[in-house]
Structure 1
Amino acid sequence: MRLIKKVINKIKEGMLQEMWEETKWMYKYAKKYKFAILFYIILGVIGTGMGLGGSVASKYLIDAVTGVDKKNIGYIVVIIIGLAILNVVINAVSSRITAKINVKVNNEIQKEVYDKIMTTDWLSMTKFHSGDLLNRLNSDVGTVSNSVLGWVPSLIKKLAQFLGALAIILYYDPTMALLALLSAPVMLIFSKMLMTKMRFYNKRTREVSSDMMAFNEESFQNIQSIKSFDLVRIFSRKLVDIQNKYKDVYMDYNKFSIYTSSFMSLVGMGVSYSCFGWGVYRLWSGAITYGTMTLFLQLSGSLTSTFSALVGLVPSAISATTSAGRLMAFFDLPYEEQIDDENVKILEKSSLDKGLSIELDNIMYNYDENKVVFENADVKANPGEIVALVGPSGEGKTTMVRLFLGLINSRKGKAVVRDATGVECKISANTRRFFAYVPQGNTIFSGTIRDNMKMVKEDANDEDIIEALKAACAYDFVKQLPDGLDSKVGERGGGISEGQAQRLSIARALLRKSPILLLDEATSALDVYTEREVLRNIIDMGYARTCIVTTHRPSVLSMCDRVYKIDKGSVSEIGSVEVERLIKDF
């Protein structure tokens, strides 16, 4: 009892407790496949039993051939062949079950992790590099899903094989069984150090692997800038640095693996030779037959190799739990704030005809304690209006847009969307459905132009798409493409110009027909004439839309109903005189 309590206390402490929690998390995904997994385990145990039965049958066959017992040779041969064929069938069925469960568990975990990443609080997710997210979503998910059938079921099968072989040897020769178990205490003691070291190396390897993927992903995303600044050699050297870092971690791990495997091989070799020597002595003294000697050699080797395999499951268990821990880290992060469900439903109906207003009242926001982005900010925009946010770069225009979209939450003050009857909702992820957003930069996805457009409105027909393209001054160049709407564009709008990609992004936002349109420097790649024409088209679309634009360029300010200036932490509405001065100074 004291030993059992000691083991339980160890599990509750430190690394073992952490691994236990990670294991429970992994196997919650296996619950719905428990009958298939149970069937898989049963098949494995049956296969193990047949393998042991084949060894026993071989003993009797050798005894029969050597003249000890010449009866039933044909019967024994049939049994051996039958067991071998059945074992092939069982292995084939087990492989099929393995593939089926692995792919299902992999897809389920991957989808849950993906959904969690996409619905987690935006600021929390900015702490992860996209390359690291990809590594976790693919490599770590794959490791966990493979372990569902590669760890616990394997443990059960190996234990069955170990105990079965031990029972047979005990039946024929207890001394041989004792010799075959000599490696067990050494292996158990050795496994404790193995677990600690393996966990450390697994974490380091995954971290460096994430660094490698992050570097590659970021390089490919910015390949144009790297080429333009003639930075290829510099980035190539950076890659070599990361590769060397990975090489150092890998070689340390390899050295550790060589030491441990060599040590375990020596222990196993010593046990095997002891068993062999004892078997030779027993055969020489006439105590056993050649068939029994062959059986001993097979089973003693099986005992040693099976016990080594059981110890060898430790690295795979650590690898799986390490990956599980990296995935569990996402589930500790807060979800995006979603509130005012009932009022959101009311606004969904009321906004169709009369649109929505957006209002920030006495808002304060800071990313950290040292820098307040803005304080006591008041911003208001109503249906049918174009409201501009201007100010120097880096002073908070994009932060204001993130507040509108519920990506971040104000530290104090009131931020709401409101319908014509006065029903209002606090801005959160829940109110994002009321917005169409065109961010800075190129946001076109790979695929056809039609695919990109229908992304925001799946039931849109060609007439709807063309109307939006015309409003964004994009249809003229789209209709000239060889395949029109079905023309393909590459990742981040590859194959078209920045200005064309920007107009497509605006058209996509207009197609959504949301009551509030946010344009965050969305016309920066357009000439002044096209920029003004796009805004005029937005006004003339006959739709109750609130339009908010952020811009460095004051060329469109004369078209705006209100202009707010963000500068040095303050947000203030500026009058026509200052607007004229901004236009003139530009």
Structure 2
Amino acid sequence: MNYFKKILRYAIPYKAYAWLNIIANVFYALFGTLAFVSLIPMLKVLFDNSAKITEKPEYQGIFELGDYFENYLNYYTTMKIESSGEMNTLLIMIGLVISTFLLKNFFSYLAMFFITFLRNGVLKDLRNDLYKKTIDLPVSFYSEKRKGDTIARITSDVLEIQHSFLSILELIVREPLMILFTIIAMLAISAKLTVFVFIFIPVSGFIISRIGKSLKRHSDKVQQEQGFFLSILEETLGGLKIIKGFNAEKIFDDKFKASTTRFFNFSNTLLNRQNLGSPVSEFLGIVVIAILLWYGGSMVLVEKTLPPEAFIAYMGLAYNILTPAKAISKASYNVKKGNAAAERVLEILETESAIKDKPDALVKEDFSQQVSIENIAFKYDKEWVLNNFSLQIPKGHTVALVGQSGSGKSTIANLVTRFYDVDNGAIKIDGDNIKDITQKSLRGLLGLVTQDSILFNDTVKGNLLVAKETATDEEIIEALKVANAWEFVKELPQGILTNIGDSGGKLSGGQKQRLSIARAVLKNPPIMILDEATSALDTESERLVQEALENMMKNRTSIVIAHRLSTIQNADTIVVLSKGEIVEQGKHQELLDKAGVYYNLVEMQSFS
């Protein structure tokens, strides 16, 4: 139940609806009980079985409530028959029965009406918090998690919480109250018969609880498997060209089918166990009713201690307990099933971000001197990617990082942007450790262009507004011109208002990269990080993109991670890395003259 309590905190903003639901449920339970009690006077008139009482009975206390209730009904029926006749009295009694059932159903609707706002409000807030947490968590979190599993938690697991946990909110008040009021009415009719019936209820409850024991474990397997096949689907859509290009359709099809087969088996086990609950509880209820018929029948026919019309109403009340009892037993299964979903959702919500702002973090709004990387060391897992790495980048300088794959170039970009935190050493901007600066203001000083052009399924304008939400159309067009992108954007069917498709799929690689550069230009940050921005382009696209980059880097501090060495010949400093350490640094010609590692890299690319 701990998970249930944690989820319930999301109901606090909607507590007004909860109170209205409770009030409506109180009346629902009251009229639901009275609906069966109101059958007694009608049956008395119908069977002409009411004792003729002409004097109004006096209330003798709680222990004589049953006798008082029966005597008062007999008195009321006698008076009505004398004043209105038997048929008119019967019509009045029928009207009373209809009225109580009508009021019961009216308050049932009101209760559902109010709880709807609470359930959907909790669902909305839970999803919003999950999405916010998804954005807040560091990049490193998703290098260990499957994206599809995260999607499953935000979609199907949250829905499971609505169907399981939040359905309990409907039952917490309504069903227990219905049982309570019904028991009071049953005790009023016959305390002896009620005590006899309730000897068998704990036995039924024990059998039902045994069935629900393993539901959480089975439900957890179902939800994990759903996250797994959603991950396969997400990877398939992202890598469709590779799958088709390598004729790997069967490999992925088999992998997906294996997952859905496991899902099929887990779901069957879970649902069969869950579905067993309702028929078992109903059968046990009918057994109790059968015992009730036997024992109550003897009270009516043999002992003559219970009037037949009261016994008929009593039977209705006893069956009236079955529906809420079944609902409560089903709810207990749902709690166990929902526990697994809530655990998975809360795992994300309660994950502490490894990268957090300090309470007194500095809001840094400008850059005036230099970026200092001081003796840093970093490892993703066990092996050090960077070790004893130091570098000074004065304002206005362009520093290029080169080296073989795996030498640690892109890691530096991830550390400067604080997607990851250094294990040792410090990265400083104007002498301020970036760990002492708020993440928002740090990234406000940085522009990022990555090797993979990350664009969104939106218009050209929408993609650029990510960098500056308040930008005018004129500013957007100017940024596109600087990035050599305006020449193709103006030819698009709706110009900057043209949708570019999922991940910019309607554009070529060079066009996508130039839009990424335009986005960085629009942001106009003092420090630019270019992570192999031209490595995936053809020669013509590279030329246009390189021009765009040079336009953008004028009078700007830039960290360029380069794969193609031809693109960084004009850099103020070229830093050559090998296995996470600096092996050479200097200008292009200086390094060529040394005929060292950089020279060999240039020679290899020239030869290729």
Per-residue deviation, 1:149 = 4.6
Indicate whether 1:322 and 2:340 are aligned.
yes
In structure 2, do the counterparts of structure 1 residues 89 and 543 end up closer, same or farther at CA, with 3 Å as the change threshold?
A: farther
Please name the residue that 1:101 is paired with: 118
In structure 2, do the counterparts of structure 1 residues 358 and 259 end up closer, same or farther at CA, with 3 Å as the change threshold?
A: same
Indicate whether 1:443 and 2:424 are aligned.
no
CA distance in 2, matches of 1:308, 1:150: 14
In structure 2, do the counterparts of structure 1 residues 62 and 442 end up closer, same or farther at CA, with 3 Å as the change threshold?
A: farther
Greater displacement, 321-330 / 200-209: 321-330
CA distance in 2, matches of 1:147, 1:77: 39
Correspondent of 1:35 among 16, 33, 46: 16
Per-residue deviation, 1:214 = 1.7
Correspondent of 2:252 among 224, 235, 238: 235
1:357–1:382 Cα contact (<8 Å) kept: yes
Indicate whether 1:66 and 2:47 are aligned.
yes
Q: Which runs of 5+ in 2 are unaligned?
A: 51-76, 82-88
Greater displacement, 286-295 / 164-173: 286-295
Which amino acid is 1:235 matched to? F
The CA deviation string for residues 318-341 of structure 1, in whole angstroms up to 9 with x for no partner, is 233332222221244222534478
CA distance in 1, matches of 2:172, 2:211: 17
Please name the residue that 2:55 is paired with: none
Correspondent of 1:293 among 296, 300, 311: 311
Correspondent of 1:522 among 526, 530, 533: 533
CA distance in 2, matches of 1:143, 1:395: 46
Please name the residue that 1:583 is paired with: 602
1:344–1:425 Cα contact (<8 Å) kept: no
Greater displacement, 221-230 / 443-452: 221-230
In structure 2, do the counterparts of structure 1 residues 238 and 33 end up closer, same or farther at CA, with 3 Å as the change threshold?
A: same
Please name the residue that 2:270 is paired with: 253
Please name the residue that 1:366 is paired with: 379
CA distance in 2, matches of 1:126, 1:366: 14
CA distance in 1, matches of 2:153, 2:401: 38
Correspondent of 2:351 among 333, 345, 358: 333
Matches within 5 A, 1:170-569: 170-190=187-207, 192-285=209-302, 286-339=304-357, 344-345=362-363, 347-348=364-365, 350-351=366-367, 354=368, 357-369=370-382, 371-418=383-430, 425-426=434-435, 429-430=439-440, 431-528=442-539, 530-540=541-551, 544-569=555-580
Per-residue deviation, 1:304 = 3.3
Per-residue deviation, 1:581 = 4.6
CA distance in 2, matches of 1:154, 1:311: 11
Secondary structure of the 2:318 match is helix
Greater displacement, 116-125 / 282-291: 282-291
Which amino acid is 1:163 matched to? L
The CA deviation string for residues 367-392 of structure 1, in whole angstroms up to 9 with x for no partner, is 222x1112011233233322222222
Which amino acid is 2:377 matched to? M
2:129–2:349 Cα contact (<8 Å) kept: no
Which amino acid is 2:353 matched to? Y
Please name the residue that 1:8 is paired with: none
Correspondent of 1:128 among 145, 170, 174: 145
Greater displacement, 221-230 / 64-73: 64-73
CA distance in 1, matches of 2:203, 2:555: 78
Which amino acid is 1:446 matched to? N
Please name the residue that 2:61 is paired with: none
CA distance in 2, matches of 1:95, 1:139: 23
2:483–2:517 Cα contact (<8 Å) kept: yes
Please name the residue that 2:71 is paired with: none
**Percent identity of the aligned residues?**
24
2:217–2:340 Cα contact (<8 Å) kept: no
Please name the residue that 2:7 is paired with: 26
1:181–1:303 Cα contact (<8 Å) kept: no
Greater displacement, 424-433 / 497-506: 424-433
Greater displacement, 243-252 / 525-534: 525-534
Secondary structure of the 1:440 match is coil
Which amino acid is 2:118 matched to? I
Please name the residue that 1:571 is paired with: 582
CA distance in 2, matches of 1:366, 1:190: 55
Please name the residue that 1:13 is paired with: none
In structure 2, do the counterparts of structure 1 residues 220 and 532 end up closer, same or farther at CA, with 3 Å as the change threshold?
A: closer
Secondary structure of the 1:273 match is helix
Count, aligned residues: 558
Could you tell me the TM-score, scaled by structure 2's length? Answer: 0.85
The CA deviation string for residues 222-281 of structure 1, in whole angstroms up to 9 with x for no partner, is 222222222222222211101110111112223433554454343222112111233433
Greater displacement, 530-539 / 131-140: 530-539
Greater displacement, 240-249 / 139-148: 139-148
In structure 2, do the counterparts of structure 1 residues 397 and 132 end up closer, same or farther at CA, with 3 Å as the change threshold?
A: same
Secondary structure of the 2:387 match is strand
The CA deviation string for residues 7-49 of structure 1, in whole angstroms up to 9 with x for no partner, is xxxxxxxxxxxx3x32221121222222320220121121111
In structure 2, do the counterparts of structure 1 residues 361 and 428 end up closer, same or farther at CA, with 3 Å as the change threshold?
A: farther
Which amino acid is 2:104 matched to? N
Q: Which runs of 5+ in 1 are unaligned?
A: 1-18
2:25–2:174 Cα contact (<8 Å) kept: yes
CA distance in 2, matches of 1:475, 1:341: 43
Which amino acid is 1:570 matched to? E
CA distance in 1, matches of 2:192, 2:358: 75
Rg: which structure is higher?
A: 2
Per-residue deviation, 1:483 = 0.8
RMSD after superposition:
2.5
Secondary structure of the 2:284 match is helix
Could you tell me the TM-score, scaled by structure 1's length? Answer: 0.88
In structure 2, do the counterparts of structure 1 residues 231 and 442 end up closer, same or farther at CA, with 3 Å as the change threshold?
A: farther
CA distance in 2, matches of 1:190, 1:161: 22
2:123–2:162 Cα contact (<8 Å) kept: yes
Per-residue deviation, 1:536 = 4.4
Secondary structure of the 1:526 match is coil
In structure 2, do the counterparts of structure 1 residues 416 and 305 end up closer, same or farther at CA, with 3 Å as the change threshold?
A: same
Which amino acid is 1:520 matched to? D
Greater displacement, 269-278 / 574-583: 574-583
Greater displacement, 564-573 / 257-266: 257-266
CA distance in 2, matches of 1:526, 1:497: 10
CA distance in 2, matches of 1:123, 1:471: 33
Which amino acid is 2:488 matched to? F
In structure 2, do the counterparts of structure 1 residues 183 and 515 end up closer, same or farther at CA, with 3 Å as the change threshold?
A: farther
Secondary structure of the 1:151 match is helix
Per-residue deviation, 1:79 = 2.4
CA distance in 1, matches of 2:454, 2:385: 26
Secondary structure of the 1:441 match is coil
Secondary structure of the 2:492 match is coil
Secondary structure of the 1:368 match is coil
1:366–1:373 Cα contact (<8 Å) kept: yes
The CA deviation string for residues 103-158 of structure 1, in whole angstroms up to 9 with x for no partner, is 22112122122222221233234322111111111222233345565214412221
CA distance in 1, matches of 2:527, 2:508: 27
CA distance in 2, matches of 1:295, 1:310: 23
CA distance in 1, matches of 2:188, 2:485: 85
Correspondent of 2:184 among 147, 167, 181: 167
1:518–1:548 Cα contact (<8 Å) kept: yes
